[in-house]
Amino acid sequence: MRQCDNGHFYDESRFDSCPYCQEGAGVGKTVAAGTVGKTVAAVPGGAAPEDLLPLTASGLTEACAARFTRLAKQIVLERCTVELALDEGTLMGGGRTLPFAEMEVELKSGEEAAATAFAEALAQEFNLTPEPKSKAQRAMALLH
């Protein structure tokens, strides 16, 4: 793991430079179970409780996962700034897979009502259906 000048952590074996700092684009990625201990230990400012490190010492078993590609663009609107992300990939759990494609609008600054109105306009324009469950919740549901 490498930390860029802006404090983001990224896998230097997969990226030449920080994918979070690249203007308008990012790539969603999964972290291999074997790297979680290093990632937990590398959290800036000691934010990760030391109690977590022993939990990763003997290794982790992947129960479910989300593997996807993300295209993202920061958009400055009149009363807010949002990140518009397009994710496409697969959720996995319990030996089952579920392909997905989704659009996310994340408020970065400004008025929440303006970001919500933007998301609702996109949903209406492109006939999108809101998904209240996170990728992790949907992947964990595949276990049952």
- Give tens-digit pLDDT for 96-141: 999 999 999 999 999 999 999 999 999 999 999 999 999 999 999 9
**DSSP H or E segment with residue 67:** strand 64-76
- Give tens-digit pLDDT for 1-27: 677 777 666 667 777 777 666 543 333
Report whether 89 contacts 67 (CB < 8 A).
yes
Q: What is the pTM of this model?
A: 0.60
